[in-house]
Amino acid sequence: MYQAKETRYDKMVYNRCGNSGLKLPEVSLGFWHNFGDTGVYENMRQMVFTAFDNGITHFDLANNYGPEYGSAEANLGKLLKENFASYRDELIISTKAGYDMWKGPYGDWGSRKYLLASLDQSLERLGLEYVDIFYHHRMDPNTPLEETMGALDQAVKSGKALYAGISNYDGETMKRAAAIMRELHCPFVINQNRYSIFDRTIEQNGLKQAAQEEGKGIIAFSPLAQGMLTDRYLNGIPADSRVNTDGRFLKKEQLTDSKIHQIQALNEIAKQRGESLAQMALKWVLKDDVVTSVLIGASRPQQILDNIKVIESAGFTEEELRLIDEVSVEKKA
């Protein structure tokens, strides 16, 4: 029987999620990859044990994480039942709905019908009475925002979620959502968006500034740009890379000679800081206290141990930030 380490809270940093009472670990564990039916269950177990033993209390999922859809939730449900029943109140479990999940007109986007049905299914797979955060996964141009936010509000007020969140929203739409949630007195506390040295969309679409103004948290996914901000591609594309066999996420055409030169230059900056490229990239996302937590993925326990070293790494000098920008930001013609 798994017993968590007594020292699990000794080093991890916990940041307040916007102006709410909820705190998240500076590093959270995402279940987007390697927790579906194609993964090895014992490896999943060891990754989750390693995460929790080192203070990672937040596990992030979505209804269609797999493959197959729903299998990441089902596997976490099994892990929770077999190993974490006595630790439920120490965990933050989040899930989402908004992308395609089942056939027909009611298994996608942002209708009340879809969101509430999906949450019920997620709870069944997880074996839980509630999730801590329930997100709408993406903006829906064809459903009134009031309906989508009303569904999140109902999820919270029914006791099936403690907090509401939104993912992949821009700044303007997030502000509208926040206004609706204020009227509903619903605890909307967090935005989940892609953010990395290579992808600064939340700065360009106003989300980062809007979250700060509205007192909402941000949790960043893909902080390592699907592995580009690691030592994996320093010398080009390895023969065994997923890029060659599975182009669903990182595509071969993204790894141009220019991009590899950027990766190499960033790695030199990281070396000067005495850390790996991945550790520097995670620290960069957290650099200004606007981002509450970074979501890491992992394929083995050691990656988790390597990535959580970010909580002990030094902040950036102005010169380091300038150099990172000089290397990584595409110049406009």
Instruction: Express each pLDDT in 34-76 by its tens digit.
Output: 999 999 999 999 999 999 999 999 999 999 999 999 999 999 9
The crossing angle, in degrees rounded to 10, of helices 171-184 and 207-214 is: 30
Helix (H) or strand (E) holding 97: strand 92-97
29 in any annotated domain: yes
How far apart CA 62 and CA 137 sit, in angstroms, is: 8
178 in any annotated domain: yes
How far apart CA 211 and CA 217 sit, in angstroms, is: 7
CATH number at residue 38: 3.20.20.100
Give the side-chain half-sphere CA count within 13 A for 271. Answer: 7
The two tokens of residue 5 are 């380490």
56 in any annotated domain: yes
Cβ pair 36, 65 in contact under 8 A: yes
197 in any annotated domain: yes
Of 217-221, 229-233, 324-328, the one with minimum mean pLDDT is: 229-233
The model carries a pTM of 0.95
Q: Is the pLDDT of residue 245 over 60?
A: no
Q: Are strands 161-167 and 131-136 parallel, antiparallel or unpaired?
A: parallel
pLDDT for res 1: 87
DSSP 8-state symbol, 128: -
Q: Is the pLDDT of residue 239 over 90?
A: no
Instruction: Express each pLDDT in 264-287 by its tens digit.
Output: 999 999 999 999 999 999 999 999
- Which single residue is written with the structure tokens 């999940």? 101
Q: Is the pLDDT of residue 322 over 60?
A: yes
Surface-to-core class of residue 237, CB atoms within 10 Å of its CB (0-12 exposed, 13-18 middle, 19+ buried):
middle
DSSP-derived secondary structure for 28-83: EEE-SSS-STTS-HHHHHHHHHHHHHTT--EEE--TT-TTTTTHHHHHHHHHHHHH
Total structural domains within the chain: 1
266 in any annotated domain: no
137 in any annotated domain: yes
Cβ pair 264, 292 in contact under 8 A: no
Q: Is the pLDDT of residue 242 over 70?
A: no
- Domain extent for 223: 14-232+277-315
324 in any annotated domain: no
65 in any annotated domain: yes
User: How large is the average pLDDT for residues 188-216?
Assistant: 98
The two tokens of residue 162 are 């403690």
